[in-house]
Each structure stands twice: as structure tokens, then as C-alpha cells.
């Protein structure tokens, strides 16, 4: 199957070339390929057939260009823009999802009324909280660990001093406080 197209050139009887826009090229073709002939003959003669032939020629040129590895810059630009738009949309959706999850997580931990952190802080430092109870037990009143330890140490020191026979003003004050406490405990 031999394909042939012969350019007969511009004939003087055709529209003068000087009136055509510079982006046009006048071709007169002789078509001998049976498949192409069959398709062209299916179209009605006149402008419809001419448009069909031009569209077929354009498709053929684009196919040859692609086969030769040349890419249509416009097609590339459109494909790139479509890809960027898809990525932008996907990133926007993911950012919104991430924002929702982060907001929910932060609310779960930091909300003033229901958050885990404020509730835990209240349990630690609030009235009768863990910190207050611990400090009261270790540093608080006479029955605290520190109070008992100090009383034991001061008691030992006073016992040694009594054995020696001398008392300082601090020892006297401490002794008075202890005897007052023993009297109030007895009541």
C-alpha cells in the first residue's frame, strides 16, 4: 500500500497569496491511499470535507511529532497545570484534615473545662490536691515527717544538754512549746 501526496503548488487562478494571513499555507494534494480515500469520500464535498481533511492532517502531524519524540508545549503546559491543580487540591484536603485532627487532639488535652491537662493540674495543685497532701504530710504541722524528724533531733540535742546542765533560750522556748502541746493533747 503506497501512500503518496503531491504538492502541485499554488496556481495563479487560486486566491492570491498576498491576501492570506501569514499563518496559512496553501496545499493542493493528490491522495492515492485507499483507506484515506475511503474516509474522505464519506464526507460531503465542499467545506465539510476540507475541514475533515485538515483535522486528519493535524492528527497525522501530531502523531508523527509524538512518534519522533517531540512534545507539544501546549499539551505539556496543560498537563502540568492539571497536575499542579490536583496536587494543590489534595494538599488542601489533607491540610484541612490535619487541622481538624490537631484541633480535636488539642481540645482533648487543653480544653479548660474538659481537657486532660487542666484536670490533671487541678488534681495536683488544687485544694486538697496531691501536692498539698504531700507537703502537709512531709512539711506541714507537728505530725508531718519533717516535724517529727526535727522534734526527734531537737529532743536528742536537748537531752544531751540537760545531761550537761545548760540550756539556750531556743531550747527553753522549744521545751515550753512541747510541754504546752503535751498538756493540750492530755485534755
- Convert the pLDDT of each residue in 79-117 to its tens digit: 899 999 999 999 999 999 999 999 999 999 999 888 999
Instruction: Measure the CA–CA gap between 114 and 107, rounded to whole angstroms.
Output: 8
Predicted pLDDT of residue 35: 93
High-pLDDT (> 70) share of the chain, % = 78
Over residues 139-156, mean pLDDT: 77
Over residues 146-152, mean pLDDT: 79
Instruction: Kindly tell me if the per-residue pLDDT of 77 is higher than 80.
Output: yes
- Convert the pLDDT of each residue in 1-47 to its tens digit: 334 443 333 333 444 445 555 688 888 889 999 999 999 999 999 99
Hey, where are the domains in the chain? 17-70, 75-123, 143-186
- What are the cell numbers at 108? 482533648
Instruction: Kindly tell me if the per-residue pLDDT of 69 is higher than 50.
Output: yes
Angle between helices 116-125 and 130-139 (to 10 degrees): 20
177 vs 142, more confident: 177
Helix (H) or strand (E) holding 79: helix 73-110
Instruction: Kindly tell me if the per-residue pLDDT of 62 is higher than 70.
Output: yes
Instruction: Measure the CA–CA gap between 115 and 103, rounded to whole angstroms.
Output: 12
Rounded to the nearest integer, the mean pLDDT of the chain is 79
Instruction: Measure the CA–CA gap between 43 and 52, rounded to whole angstroms.
Output: 8
User: Which residue, chain included where needed, has cell 486566491?
Assistant: 15
Predicted pLDDT of residue 38: 94
Instruction: Measure the CA–CA gap between 25 and 59, rounded to whole angstroms.
Output: 17
Ranges 56-60, 128-132, 138-142: which has the least confidence: 138-142
Amino acid at each position: 500500500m503506497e501512500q503518496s501526496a503531491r504538492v502541485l503548488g499554488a496556481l495563479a487562478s487560486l486566491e492570491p497569496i498576498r491576501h492570506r494571513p501569514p499563518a496559512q499555507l496553501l496545499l493542493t494534494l493528490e491522495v492515492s491511499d485507499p483507506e484515506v480515500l475511503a474516509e474522505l469520500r464519506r464526507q460531503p464535498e465542499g467545506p465539510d470535507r476540507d475541514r475533515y481533511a485538515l483535522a486528519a492532517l493535524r492528527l497525522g502531524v501530531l502523531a508523527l511529532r509524538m512518534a519522533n519524540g517531540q512534545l507539544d508545549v501546549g499539551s505539556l503546559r496543560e498537563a502540568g497545570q492539571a497536575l499542579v491543580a490536583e496536587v494543590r487540591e489534595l494538599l488542601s484536603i489533607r491540610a484541612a484534615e490535619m487541622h481538624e485532627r490537631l484541633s480535636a487532639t488539642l481540645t482533648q488535652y487543653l480544653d479548660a473545662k474538659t481537657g486532660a491537662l487542666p484536670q490533671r493540674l487541678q488534681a495536683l495543685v488544687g485544694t486538697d490536691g496531691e501536692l498539698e497532701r504531700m507537703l502537709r504530710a512531709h512539711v506541714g504541722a507537728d505530725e508531718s515527717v519533717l516535724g517529727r524528724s526535727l522534734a526527734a533531733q531537737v529532743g536528742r540535742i536537748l537531752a544531751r544538754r540537760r545531761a550537761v546542765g545548760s540550756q539556750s533560750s531556743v531550747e527553753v522556748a522549744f521545751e515550753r512549746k512541747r510541754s504546752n502541746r503535751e498538756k493540750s493533747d492530755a485534755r
